[in-house]
Amino acid sequence: MEARNTRTVSRQTNMTSFADIVLNQDESKQRLNILLAANAEIAEQKAVYGSEREKMEADLMFAPINSEQAFAYFGLLLGVFPPFAIFLKYFMETGPARSEKLWIFGVALIVSLLSALVGYFFGKTIGRWVRGIETRPWGAMLLIAPFIGLLWGLTSGAAGGIIIFGVGAIVGAVLGGMVGAIALPAFTVVHRLVKRGEMIDRRHFLPLAFGVTFAICSFILGLG
């Protein structure tokens, strides 16, 4: 009887020890998972932010927007104002508006609207591309950026000009490509300097985006 009780106690002790081992293993796995997650978060922050100060400045932003949003909004501005500046230039050179030319105002509005829509939605993709080239050395970024801007402008300009008897798509693509090839590198340089991590404060974005856009419009209006 005593031997049986001893075996029972021994079995219970072994089961308890086994349960303790299992619990300890589970706790160790949980701690390991927490540690791995923390290390992954730290590594991600180091990849995004150059320093703790940069991360702190990003956290203090009033209204942060990421690269995709920034270039989408910038594409919206480029789609609206430069095409309209081209039409305005036409009216400035042809004299006062007459009734037979009023329909051109409607065409200008439609062209700007189509260009703005394509510039905005394609701008999200452009933002991802630019985010990639901004990690490269400055020389490589400045070499690649005009070609990305050229593609962006060609697409937006062709979309806006296609309503002008189809031929306008070619003219729109050429003019849009020229604008994009100039505007995107100019904005990308400032964006890289001002952003913190992958974010730029809206208070910084707005004057920069409008500044580049209106500078191009001023150049268009000053031609001739």
Per residue in 95-150, pLDDT (tens digit) is 655 555 677 777 888 888 999 999 999 999 999 999 999 999 999 999 999 999 99
Q: How many CB atoms lie within 10 A of CB 131?
A: 18
Q: Is residue 198 part of a domain?
A: yes
- Of the ranges 10-19, 37-46, 172-181, which one carries the lowest mean pLDDT score? 37-46
Percent of the chain with pLDDT over 70: 68
- Mean pLDDT over residues 176-181, rounded? 94
Q: 41 and 86 share a domain?
A: no
Rounded-to-integer distance, Cα 159 and Cα 88, Å = 20
Give the residue numbers spanning the domain of 41: 2-48
Same domain, 97 and 147: yes
Residues 14 and 79 in one domain: no
Residues 83/108, Cβ–Cβ less than 8 Å: yes
pLDDT 10s digits, 193-215? 988 888 889 989 999 999 999 99
What pLDDT does 140 receive? 95
Q: Domain for residue 58, yes or no? A: no
Residue 18 and residue 128 in one domain: no
Please answer whether residues 149 and 181 qualify as being in contact, where contact means their C-beta atoms are separated by less than 8 angstroms: yes
Q: Model-level pTM?
A: 0.74
Q: Output the average pLDDT for the chain.
A: 79
Total domains, the chain: 2
Report yes or no on 59 lying in a domain: no
What are phi and psi for residue 223, nearest 5 degrees?
A: -70, 150
Same domain, yes or no: 113 and 214:
yes
Task: Tell whether 79 and 174 lie within a shared domain.
Answer: yes
The reply to whether 30 and 99 lie within a common domain is no
User: What's residue 168's pLDDT?
Assistant: 77
Q: How far apart are CA 214 and CA 220, in angstroms?
A: 10
